[in-house]
């Protein structure tokens, strides 16, 4: 089975549409969405509508998804993120709020799991480094997790003697998942990448070939920025899309 892996869409419809267009050329059987459909971007309703209608999509909640529906308090959010959450809350339809409220914070299949943050703190923990990864090893119930939240594409691995490591993916290249090794994989953010590359970031997991392919894709980011301006969203959030920061 081939899975399209998307995370941190953050209300960026042009990015999401470009990614789904890509999957027409490289078809997948199912989708995995690692949370944060909304927040930051100008198209929260549109993005929820698209994800809701995706066939065979496993979706879990991110901190922004829950914050807009009041299931997560925004005191831990930076002021600009909190402003965007409040704006998203003001425009989201009741039906879409109900959809976001219904999302769980983790999901599992036979051999893998998905969370937004980390196995230890599914919604809120940032996994930027090997120290946090090591602290999470005892919380992993599967050998493979897909996560989001940091918006930085990165993988972490651990062999049974608890030796750990991490690495970056190469765009367009396949990464092999080896038996007996534990992995936590973040394929980056569709709608607000923060690794210095403004292109949408996502991937494809093939559980038969045991591979993960990392993909970067250009999209019409000026369209997103124009709509953010019209919505009165903070300038910094608009600018950062140009730099992928």
Question: Which residues are near Zn ion by CB under 5 A?
Answer: 8, 36
Closer to Zn ion by CB, 3 or 40: give it: 40
Q: How far is 25 from 22, CA to CA, in rounded Å? A: 5
Instruction: State the minimum distance, in angstroms, from the CB of residue 63 to Zn ion.
Output: 7
Q: How far is 212 from 206, CA to CA, in rounded Å? A: 6
Instruction: State the minimum distance, in angstroms, from the CB of residue 224 to Zn ion.
Output: 15
Q: Is 70 left (phi over 0), alpha (psi -120 to 50) or beta?
A: left
Closer to Zn ion by CB, 36 or 46: give it: 36
Instruction: State the minimum distance, in angstroms, from the CB of residue 204 to Zn ion.
Output: 21
Closer to Zn ion by CB, 26 or 73: give it: 73
CA 129 vs CA 64, 125, 135, 167: distances in Å: 22, 11, 10, 10
Closer to Zn ion by CB, 36 or 105: give it: 36
Closer to Zn ion by CB, 84 or 204: give it: 84
Closer to Zn ion by CB, 69 or 177: give it: 69
Instruction: State the minimum distance, in angstroms, from the CB of residue 123 to Zn ion.
Output: 11
The DSSP annotation for 2-61 comes to EEEEE---TT-HHHHHHHHHHHHHS--SEEEE-S--SSSSS-HHHHHHHHHHSTTEEE--
Instruction: State the minimum distance, in angstroms, from the CB of residue 176 to Zn ion.
Output: 27
Cβ contacts of 85 within 8 Å, gap of 6 or more = 39, 64, 67, 68, 74, 77
**Nearest alpha-carbon partner for 72 in 32, 113, 38:** 38
Instruction: State the minimum distance, in angstroms, from the CB of residue 117 to Zn ion.
Output: 10
Closer to Zn ion by CB, 8 or 207: give it: 8
Asked if 198 and 216 count as a contact pair (C-beta separation under 8 A), the reply is no
Instruction: State the minimum distance, in angstroms, from the CB of residue 129 to Zn ion.
Output: 18
């Amino acid at each position: 089975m081939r899975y399209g892996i998307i995370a941190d869409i953050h209300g960026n419809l042009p990015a999401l549409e470009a990614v789904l267009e890509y999957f027409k050329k490289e078809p997948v059987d199912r989708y995995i969405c690692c949370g944060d459909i909304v927040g930051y971007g100008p198209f929260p309703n549109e993005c929820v509508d698209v994800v809701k209608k995706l066939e065979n999509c496993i979706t879990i909640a991110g901190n922004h998804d829950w914050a807009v529906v009041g299931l997560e308090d925004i005191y831990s959010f930076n002021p600009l993120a909190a402003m965007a959450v409040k704006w998203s809350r003001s425009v989201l339809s009741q039906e879409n709020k109900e959809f976001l409220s219904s999302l769980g914070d983790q999901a599992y299949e036979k051999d893998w799991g998905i969370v937004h943050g980390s196995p230890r703190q599914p919604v809120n923990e940032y996994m930027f480094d090997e120290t946090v990864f090591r602290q999470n090893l005892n919380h992993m119930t599967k050998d493979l997790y897909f996560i989001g939240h940091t918006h930085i594409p990165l993988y972490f691995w651990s062999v049974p003697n608890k030796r750990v490591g991490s690495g970056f993916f190469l765009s367009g290249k396949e990464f092999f998942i080896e038996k007996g090794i534990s992995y936590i994989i973040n394929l980056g953010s569709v709608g607000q990448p923060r690794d210095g590359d403004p292109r949408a970031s996502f991937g494809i997991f093939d559980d038969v070939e045991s591979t993960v392919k990392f993909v970067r894709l250009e999209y019409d980011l000026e369209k997103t920025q124009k709509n953010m301006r019209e919505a009165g969203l903070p300038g910094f959030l608009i600018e950062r899309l140009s730099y992928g920061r």
